[in-house]
Structure 1
Amino acid sequence: MVGTNAIRGSRVGSGPMGEAERGDSAPRVHVSYWCSNGHESRPSFARELGSGVPEVWDCPRCGLPAGKDREHPPTAPRIEPYKTHLAYVKERRSDSDGAELLESALRALRGGSSPLPR
């Protein structure tokens, strides 16, 4: 049988494994989380965590944060829009600073001196 796979139909972990071979599963607790779109998600956590269960969980349907309180779910985070290099420069410099830098650069181009103020 050239060109065939000798272990065809089997994979790592396959076979008649039961609780006896894997060990007992940890006791679980299901927690309900609701997002602002009204989606409910119920992840399970090990009961041993107790207070280690997170207060906020990401909704698997829409990606918004979800909380344990159905009536008051967490609000969506505010996403800052992309800023261009010019927007960052305008945050650091006033219009008068920009005009002064432009004037010194033009003076340097016309006169041949260094454009940077000292």
Structure 2
Amino acid sequence: MGGGSAIRGSRVGAGPMGEAERGESAPRVRVPFYCANRHEVFASFASEAQVPEEWDCPRCGFPAGKDPDNPPAPPRTEPYKTHLAYVKERRSDADGQAILDEALAKLRADRAAIEAAMDN
């Protein structure tokens, strides 16, 4: 009593195995890149492709260059800024004081109107 599987030992979706079935791969060149943390990264490129000057290091994320003695500098990270810091970049202290005075005057006028309505 057999199961009747004609393709026993193979899985569904299995494709050809090896270079003989796929054809030959394009000629490649391996290029070393070096980051500021002294990581050495090898990237493969097609031999006729133009090799970039920088490559991202997969270990630390810093940019890596071809010269091991002079790797690219790590990117500068800006410190976290609060909303207030961004506002202060756009407005002077005098502008801020004028806006504050205008807002306080509006609040006081609204409060006076509410108190007058409650008295009636």
Q: Give the TM-score, by structure 2 length.
A: 0.76
The corresponding residue for 1:41 is 41
The amino acid that maps onto 1:47 is S
Number of the residue aligned with 1:22: 22
Pair 1:55 & 2:53 matched: yes
Counterpart residue number, 1:116: none
Unaligned 5+ runs, structure 1: 1-5, 113-118
Cα separation, partners in 2 of 1:29 and 1:11, compared to 1, 3 Å: farther
CA deviation after TM superposition for structure 1 residue 11, in Å: 5.2
> TM-score with structure 1 length normalisation?
0.77
Q: Tell me by how many angstroms 1:102 deviates.
A: 0.8
Q: Deviations over 1:70-97 (max 9, x none)?
A: 1100001111223222221111111111
Please say which structure displays the higher CA radius of gyration: 2
Q: List runs of 5+ in structure 2 lacking aligned partners.
A: 1-6, 111-120
Instruction: Tell me the matched-pair count.
Output: 104
* Sequence identity (%): 61
Q: Which amino acid in the other structure matches residue 86 of structure 1?
A: L
